Amino acid sequence: MKSKDIFVVRYNLAGGQRDSSPETVMTIWAYEANRLFRDRLVGEETCTKFDNILVTIIRNDWSVNVIDSLASK
């Protein structure tokens, strides 16, 4: 397994100092998806489509709203 395949491992989610709630985990996942995929897209239209797809999937499948967290990154 390559290091980029285990991106979530670099985050300390073991409670205590960090919040390990589902919202935090999905925010991390969405942030990393942005870095892996969105950063390679060309044009505002394709970036907007990607954002809509990502937010919709996270909201519908995991009932988490990450749009505010992503907007601040």
pLDDT in tens, 30-73: 888 888 899 999 999 999 999 999 989 988 988 888 877 666 65
Higher-pLDDT residue of 21, 14: 21
Chain centre to alpha carbon of residue 12:
16
DSSP designation for 73: -
DSSP string spanning 10-68?
GS--SSTTS--SHHHHHHHHHHHHHHHTGGG--SHHHHHHHHHHHHHHHHHHH----HH
Q: Report yes or no: 48 and 9 within 8 Å, Cβ to Cβ.
A: no
**The pLDDT value given to residue 63:** 84
Higher-pLDDT residue of 38, 11: 38
